[in-house]
Amino acid sequence: MEALSGLDASFLFLETAKIPMHIGGVAILEGSIKFEDFKAYIEERLHTVDKLTQKLVTVPMSLDRPYWVDDPDFDINMHLHHTALPKPGGWRELRYLASRLFSQHLNRERPLWEFIFVEGLDSIPQVPKGSVALISKVHHAGFDGKSGADLMSMLFDVSPTPRKVKPKLTKQIGEVPGPLALMAKSAFNFATRPGKLPGLVWDTGKATLRAGYMTRVQGIASPTLPFRAPKTLFNDTVEVERVWNSAILDLSRVKVLRKVVEGATLNDVILAICAGALRRYLLEKDELPARPLVAMVPVSTRTDAEKNAMGNQVSAMYVQLATDIDDPIKRLQKIYLNTTVGKLYQDAIDARSLMGFAEMIPFGLAGVAARFYSRAAIAKKHNPFFNLVITNVPGPQIPLYLAGHKLIVNMGTAPIFDGMGLIIPICSYNGTISISPTSAVNLMPDLDKFTRYIRDSANELEAAVTQRLIEREALKRLMQEP
């Protein structure tokens, strides 16, 4: 048995009837692979990722966090599904299907994942007719963005010729632990958990002193704290129906945009592109707050030794998106300053040690609190923790193949919840970058328009940067003239 970490468990008690807590995405594969071949391919590799054949068992009365155990009744047919797009088989039909599937919960009685094999992609520009899509869903309790990327290494190869996978070792799978065994295991956890508290308090004290030194002595402004974000139309309670879309950009063109601000990163540029789209979308509805929107940006805390480990190992950085600034270059400059400050505090506070406090939260109490928060619509009664999540998962910049079929593009999704009704996963792969917002229909029914504004924002920033670089070169030549 393997107990969920405190952070992993949080994605279980946040889940309600209206809030499924899975991550996943839409991958498009070139060529007409057959479903039977796809199934055989997955069966051959399934054993390389333990979580795909494990399910959760719950401690009686939810006194402790659930445990992962091998599922003695595992049936791959419950996790692989086969469907086709209705005619004409275009992007509209694909994003509608993905939105509907992302609205549905995973079955807690089985391992928490599904792959949906989709045929009939006949009318999507730049996608060969007869290609297929793979819509994936894995529960956030078992995977974060980084371990989800590691899951991709199970699915894909770097060559059209599939690599050989070591055969599955036969092992005895016992019965699922009963209530007494679970209670005994939990009793041990209760006895040992308080011993971790003094170390956590000590680490927190040191982190507080370091942060205070940076603020008072070094004069570095502290980053935005939770509950300081302005209210927006997508910071409200969410209904169950999801809406999803994706904007695909050329990665090389996006990278060039960093040149206009010395030190700026690709992630800063992506935040600026999203900020431009948010500003235009909210301005059009006369809903843009005077104060800048705040994005929560997940930061991986994995060490090299934990690179292939499943579960969640992330912290949070809160970044003001400068949505109050009209000029796209000045907006990028401000975001660069904000992320620089955020990184300084991230290093000083040592977010990895602070994550340990999640281990101290009683699972049953947390679940009750989360359900009460949702039923009472408390999200309507306070300022948001933050306005949205923007999460960037870098991918390989070489072609990948599934059973010999090239991956054309990879697009992500992630959960939303009450008070935070917009999340934007970013996936880069082989010269492309996908920016894929997910929201709820009751909050952003026109998400397609917002997705179009992401592309428009990228074009606006590119035009401004190009003009600025031309001016710089002209000035440089002028200074060199005798």
Structural domains of the chain ordered from first start: 2-167+176-186 (3.30.559.10), 220-390+414-480 (3.30.559.30)
Alpha-carbon distances of 64 from 4, 9, 116, 187, 219, rounded to whole Å: 10, 10, 33, 9, 43
SS3 category, 6: helix
d(CA 7, CA 361): 10
Rounded to the nearest 5 degrees, what angle is found at the Cα of 196, between the Cα atoms of 3 and 354? Answer: 85
Q: Which residues lie below 8 Å from residue 411, measured CB to CB, with a gap of 6+?
A: 25, 26, 27, 246, 248, 425, 427, 434, 436
Say which residue the tokens 């579960």 belong to. 311
Q: Which residues lie below 8 Å from residue 336, measured CB to CB, with a gap of 6+?
A: 261, 263, 264, 265, 268
- Specify which residues 26 forms β-bridges with: 135, 411
CB 240 within 8 A of CB 437: no
pLDDT digits (tens), the chain, 482 positions: 787 877 788 888 889 899 999 999 999 999 889 999 999 999 999 998 988 999 998 877 666 778 899 999 999 999 999 999 999 999 999 999 999 999 999 999 999 999 999 999 999 988 999 899 999 999 998 886 555 666 888 899 999 999 998 888 777 676 677 766 665 666 555 555 554 444 444 444 444 445 454 455 444 455 566 678 999 999 999 999 999 999 999 999 999 999 999 999 999 999 999 999 999 999 999 999 999 999 999 876 544 554 545 444 556 788 999 999 999 999 999 999 999 888 776 654 544 444 544 444 555 555 555 565 666 667 777 788 899 999 998 889 999 999 999 999 999 999 999 999 999 999 999 999 999 999 999 999 999 999 999 999 999 999 999 999 998 888 888 877 66
DSSP state of 44: H
Bridging pattern class, strands 67-70 and 54-57: antiparallel
SS3 category, 313: coil
159-201 pLDDT tens trace: 999 999 888 877 767 667 776 666 566 655 555 555 444 444 4
Using only C-alpha atoms, the chain has a radius of gyration, in whole angstroms, of 23
Residue 95 corresponds to which tokens in the numbers above? Answer: 């994003």
Q: Model's pTM, two decimal places?
A: 0.85
CB 333 within 8 A of CB 299: no
- Phi and psi, residue 345, nearest 5°: -70, -35
Please list the active-site residues. 140
Residue 172 corresponds to which tokens in the numbers above? Answer: 């005895």
